[in-house]
Amino acid sequence: MVELFRNIVNIISVAAIPLVLLLFLGWGIAKRVKVYEVFVEGAKDGFQVAVKIIPFLVAMLVAIGIFRASGAMEIVVAVLSPVTNLIGLPAETVPLALLRPLSGSGSLGLMTDLMKVHGADSFIGVLSSTMYGSTETTFYVLAVYFGAVGIKKTRHALPAGIVADIAGMLGALFICRIIFGA
């Protein structure tokens, strides 16, 4: 069942981009759009968008870099330990839960380490990979998406994003405990 689902999604994922390109350009030709000229016209903004993101991403990544390098994470983990113990989140996975919204590469490294130490099919291994897949790198997405259009006042996006991260982590813990026990 899982295998079938996985195969279907895999096929769709592999075929998606070629099919979308074919459909879009084919549709354009059918509607007598000057596809090449229009494509180039649209594509020329690519550089500007990428450059616009730079200051936002620099600000975000530097702050996260300083925070991580200082070792402040260990202190936050210690402060949160009564809460995380209460809900049954294994102590080893707390840094991963905290780092997941901050840094994609950092949390990837932590997840890999946890699986190396505890085994990929152990409860911690399954939980950590579920946690990794249960949310995105909120701070990165925020900097990139809002940076591209010069949004400085982010209003309620960050609090809502953080609530989503917490819900994702709790959801991962809940479902893993039900399905894989421990």
Partner 1 sequence: MLNYVWVSLIIVGLLVAVGTDIHDLSSNTYRNEVPIEASLRVDRIPTALRPAWEGGIEITADDFNNFYGIQSAKSPVRQQVLLTTLSNGRTSVAITVNDSTPDFWKKRAENAGEKGTLRGTVTAIRFSDDKKTARVSFVLDKVEFVKLRAITSAAIDYAGTAVTISLGLIGVMALWLGVMKVAEEAGLLRVLTKLLTPLTSRLFPDVPPDHPAIGAMIMNIAANMLGLNNAATPLGLKAMEELNKINPRLGTATNAMCTFLVINTAGLTLIPATAIAIRAAEGSANPGIIIGTSIFGAGCATVAGLVTVKILERLPWYRKELESEPEIGERQNG
| Positions in 47-86 near partner 1 (CB under 8 A) | 47, 49-51, 53-54, 57-72, 75
- Torsion over CA: 63, 68, 69, 74 (sign): positive
Per-residue contact string for residues 90-129; x = within reach of partner 1 by CB under 8 A: -----------x------x--xx--xx--xxx---xx--x
b vs e for 149-172, b when ≥16 Cβ sit within 10 Å of the residue's Cβ?
eeeeeeeeeeeebeeebeebbeeb
User: Would you say 86 or 178 has its CB closer to partner 1?
Assistant: 178
CB of 85 vs partner 1, minimal distance in Å: 20
Contact between 19 and partner 1 by CB under 8 A: the answer reads: no
Which of 172, 175, 177 lies closest to 96, judged by CA? 172
Query: Rounded to whole angstroms, how far apart are CA atoms 88 and 121?
Result: 19
CB of 104 vs partner 1, minimal distance in Å: 9
CB of 92 vs partner 1, minimal distance in Å: 15
Q: Are 126 and 118 in contact (CB under 8 A)?
A: no
Using CB under 8 A, pick the residue from 33, 77, 90, 92 that binds partner 1. 33
Which of 65, 28, 34, 29 lies closest to 143, judged by CA? 65
CB of 106 vs partner 1, minimal distance in Å: 11
Per-residue contact string for residues 142-181; x = within reach of partner 1 by CB under 8 A: x-xxx-xxxxxxxxxxxxxx-xxxxxxxxxx-xxx--x--
Which of 160, 161, 143 lies closest to 152, judged by CA? 143
